[in-house]
Amino acid sequence: MRTWKPTTSGIMLIVAGCYGIGIGAAVTTMGGIAGMITGLEWLAAIGGGLIAMGVVALIGGIVSLKRRVWGLALAGAILSLPLLPVGTVMGILSIIFLTKSKGEFS
């Protein structure tokens, strides 16, 4: 039986992933500029980590919509948690929806 839970989770993870990629790009850019001025080049690396978490959340949302790989969808939901504040709220809800609909994944 197909329910709304994986679809809703997938949409939320795609939104959280896009948000994470955008925030990561902004932090990388601003960190690079601030790094040139202050000598703290490591600030740009934080943005790279945010981009990576956003990409995994985005992929998790796609597989959740397709109802394929439950573990990857759950990993995307977990990795969206540090993407404050949007990813945190959507990640918590996605984890709840994914655990309740585990049987729908192939």
Which residues, 6+ apart, have CB-to-CB distance to 72 below 8 Å?
59, 60, 63
Over the stretch 12-70, which tens digit does the pLDDT of each residue have? Answer: 999 999 999 999 999 999 988 888 888 888 888 899 999 999 999 999 999 999 999 99
User: At CB < 8 A and 24+ separation, what contacts does 88-91 make?
Assistant: 90/12, 90/13, 90/15, 90/16, 91/12, 91/13, 91/16, 91/57
For the chain, how many helices (H) and strands (E)? 4, 0
What pLDDT is attached to residue 62? 98
Segment 81-101 mean pLDDT? 97
What pLDDT shows up at residue 34?
Answer: 86
